[in-house]
Structure 1
Amino acid sequence: MLEIENLSRHFNGRPVLDGLSLHLSPGEYVAIVGESGVGKSTLLNLIAGLDRPDGGRLCLEGTDYSTLDEDALTVLRRDRLGFVFQAFHVLPHLTVAQNVALPLWLQGQDARAAEAPALRLLEAVGLGGRAASWPRELSGGEMQRVAIARALVHRPRLVLADEPTGNLDPANARRVLELLAGRIREAGAIGILVTHSLEAAATADRVLRLTSQGLQA
């Protein structure tokens, strides 16, 4: 269960999010749409523990973020969250397979144990033949698929995706959206997709629009 109660975040005295509430149950996958600048990425960063709210409450599976210090937030992100960033954040000094395996390494798995699930996810996103490649050898769309595989490899309880298909052609966009939705439902996890694409949003269980008045169905 993800519980968001009266969440607020201000920048330079201006409210970007003000009194936002949302409850999501395991297995639920929602898409959030809205105009640029309305606070969609800010909301994802707060849910991911990458930013602190000015008010309100965030709770994932009984863990209240406000009680956590930075070290505990790092552990929560490592063990329970998967995040697909717009900017990929693929590490240039690791191969494609190593980038995907990284969450498993951070959890303490050795390279041999982490290799098989990493390779399975690369096959699932259509990059099975690029495991030994370096990020500099990939296109933007391929790096986005690496980032999606990395976000899913450790079977997180909460998957956050910020415009995950923005760099993909239509065929690969459909492929990764189906993968995201399928993995979230199969694992009984919670998924939040932020997107401008109505086609992408349609793959979620429900679509919410973020406005200055909050989230609306």
Structure 2
Amino acid sequence: MYTPPMLEIDSLSRSFNGRRVLAEVSLRLAPGEYVAIVGESGVGKSTLLNLIAGLDRPDSGRVVLDGCDYAGLDEDGLTGLRRDRLGFVFQAFHVLPHLTVLQNVALPLWLQGVDNAAAEAPARQLLEAVGLGERAGSWPRELSGGEMQRVAIARALVHGPRLVLADEPTGNLDPANGARVLALLGERIRGAGAIGILVTHSLEAAATADRVLRLDARGLHG
């Protein structure tokens, strides 16, 4: 039985200062599918994620998520799409220093209008899942880089996003915690019938996805 793709990426291209970073990249992902993208530094992996997240606009090509073509959305529309449908794990964490660990994880739910009490339970559950249940009341300044990365992963998953984008999510983690969060990412994505894209230099991390794609100057291929 045919399952229509949840995410359609058609011939995305992007240049910066006259230098082509991405050329004619296309991808289709069905519900529940989790892929890893590997490639050398500078081939445009993070640029591709930013385009898929609507944080940047392509020079040509299109991105369609759940039938919604990004080209038809203004900045407010893209912000709403990210709030409601996306979870993004950034390399730089983007953990907010004026919020506690628990508040950082609950933030996506608050932005959707969920009240504090209702947001707290799923936020605590995700913190337990990444091994930070005892740090719920801590401030980001009290955390290590690896702990902040785990907070960022919990925050990306707490609102049950349709699309999870993870940019080197294990780069600051020891092997045990890296394996733990990779298992959690895969479990949440597949179990919810969402889709996930993991960008990584680690072939071991990439192997936890359903399939591995390589990005290079020729585009994206298996």
- Note whether the superposition's TM-score is higher than 0.5: yes
Structure 1 runs not aligned, ≥5 long: none
* Aligned match for 1:66, one of 59, 68, 71: 71
* Aligned match for 1:207, one of 186, 209, 212: 212
In 1, the alpha carbon distance for the partners of 2:23 and 2:147 equals: 37
1:150-201 Cα shifts (integer Å, max 9, x gaps): 0000000000000000000000000000000000000000000000001100
Q: Report the counterpart of residue 42 of structure 1 in structure 2.
A: 47
Q: Secondary structure at the match of 1:129?
A: helix
Q: Report the counterpart of residue 3 of structure 2 in structure 1.
A: none
Question: Equivalences for 1:127-166 in 2 at 5 Å?
Answer: 127-166=132-171
Tell me by how many angstroms 1:14 deviates: 1.4
Tell me by how many angstroms 1:15 deviates: 1.1
Q: Report the counterpart of residue 186 of structure 2 in structure 1.
A: 181
AA in 2 matched with 1:60: L
AA in 2 matched with 1:43: L
Output the aligned Cα RMSD: 0.4
Moved over 6 A (4+): none
**Residue 19 (str. 1) matches residue 29 (str. 2):** no
Identity %: 82
Normalised TM-score (structure 1): 1.00
**Residue 81 (str. 1) matches residue 86 (str. 2):** yes
Give the length in aligned residue pairs: 217
In 1, the alpha carbon distance for the partners of 2:92 and 2:19 equals: 26
Q: Report the counterpart of residue 98 of structure 1 in structure 2.
A: 103
In 1, the alpha carbon distance for the partners of 2:95 and 2:7 equals: 27
Structure 2 runs not aligned, ≥5 long: 1-5
Normalised TM-score (structure 2): 0.97
1:28-62 Cα shifts (integer Å, max 9, x gaps): 00000000000000000000000000000110010
In 1, the alpha carbon distance for the partners of 2:18 and 2:71 equals: 21
Tell me by how many angstroms 1:13 deviates: 1.2
In 2, the alpha carbon distance for the partners of 1:118 and 1:51 equals: 29
